Amino acid sequence: MKILSKGIVFILIATFSFAIMNALVKDLSAFHPMQLVGFRSLGTFVFIFPYMLWNKVSIIGNHPGLLSARAVCGLISLATFFVVLQRLPLGSAISIRYLGPIFGAVMAAYFLKEKVKFWQWISFAIAFTGVIVLKGFDLRIDLISFLLTLTSAFFLGFIFTLLRYLGDKEHFLTIINYFMFFSIVGSLFFLNHWRWPNADEWWRVMVIGICGMIGQIFMTKAFQIEEASTLAPFKYMELVYALIMGLYFFDEKYSRIAFAGILLIVAGMILNVVVKKTQLT
């Protein structure tokens, strides 16, 4: 009897890959965040685009307007998140960004007419309470960083909503490719802030791109073969990895109250998953 399904294994690989990517972005804080966005996107694009051409996967897609909107939202969310990673502890940045599914649920209710259950609103309130506690008791979270993290989470919510609509209408590689292309182009507007990596930095720059690609592919494959409600709790392993990496590589520690805020955020998001999976209204 298998303890872990293939989908769960895939999501664990994806979250670990993203955690490494996030830690390296923080470690390379001497680089402009948009240069790191460019490296991360290029590392995926150079593998996916030739594969799409070889296998005749549509480059343009059936809904170029919505695909472009998803890509722009992804670029804004990723860019603001990379800025925050260089300013805040890993655990704090990732915890606050977990509000993305809340924004996504509200947007899906408005745009896609999906019903939000009563206990989901309770779970959202718990998560927001956790954010307030974390912001109030972790003095490393300045107002600008906090607002940037909320911006990243807000546009992440837009991404979830657009993916809900595009999921069965577009090939997943078409969706990813749009995101990578727009991110590369967007990063080039900041070319005057780029600098050439030195010998010791090159391997870390390349690993950002590789881990971003691995995380993107395994995350997508996981949600293709397993129900989202089953996978969602394992997505929070990214926070566990971040807390461990933050402690050992960046000496990031939390007070008991700030850590309680993180736990409230995770508890609220897990309750949301449980409510969606059960018959609670």
Could you read off the pLDDT of 120-153 as tens digits, one per residue?
A: 888 888 988 999 899 888 889 999 999 999 999 9
Burial class (CB within 10 angstroms; exposed 0-12, middle 13-18, buried 19+) of 197: middle
Contacts (Cβ under 8 Å, ≥6 apart) of 139 = none
For the chain, give every domain's residue range.
6-277
Contact criterion met (CB below 8 Å) for 278 and 270: no
Q: In the prediction, which pLDDT does 54 show? A: 95
Q: In the prediction, which pLDDT does 1 show? A: 42
More confident residue, 96 or 98: 96
- What does the radius of gyration of the chain's CA atoms come to, in whole angstroms? 18
More confident residue, 113 or 152: 152
Q: Rounded CA gap, 248 and 144, in Å?
A: 26
Residue range 5-60, pLDDT digits in tens = 787 888 889 889 999 999 999 999 999 999 999 999 998 899 899 999 999 999 99
Contacts (Cβ under 8 Å, ≥6 apart) of 119 = 271, 275, 280, 281
In this prediction, residue 3 has a pLDDT band, given cuts at 50, 70 and 90, of low
Q: In the prediction, which pLDDT does 227 show? A: 63
- Whose tokens are 């073969």? That residue is 225
Q: What is the DSSP string of the chain?
A: --SS-HHHHHHHHHHHHHHHHHHHHHHTTTS-HHHHHHHHHHHHHHHHHHHHHHTT--SS-S-HHHHHHHHHHHHHHHHHHHHHHTTS-HHHHHHHHTTHHHHHHHHHHHHS-PPPPHHHHHHHHHHHHHHHHHHHH-TT--HHHHHHHHHHHHHHHHHHHHHHHHTTTS-HHHHHHHHHHHHHHHHHTTGGG-----HHHHHHHHHHHHHHHHHHHHHHHHHHHS-HHHHHHHHTHHHHHHHHHHHHHH-----HHHHHHHHHHHHHHHHHHHHHHSS--
- Whose tokens are 């000496």? That residue is 251
The separation between the first and the last C-alpha atoms of the chain, rounded to the nearest angstrom, is 33
| Rounded percentage of the chain residues whose pLDDT exceeds 70 | 93
Q: In the prediction, which pLDDT does 99 show? A: 85
Count of beta carbons in the 10 Å neighbourhood of residue 71? 23
Estimate the crossing angle of helix 228-235 against helix 199-225, to 10 degrees.
Answer: 150
Q: Is residue 228 predicted with pLDDT exceeding 70? A: no
The sign of the dihedral angle between the CA atoms of 241, 244, 247, 248 is: negative
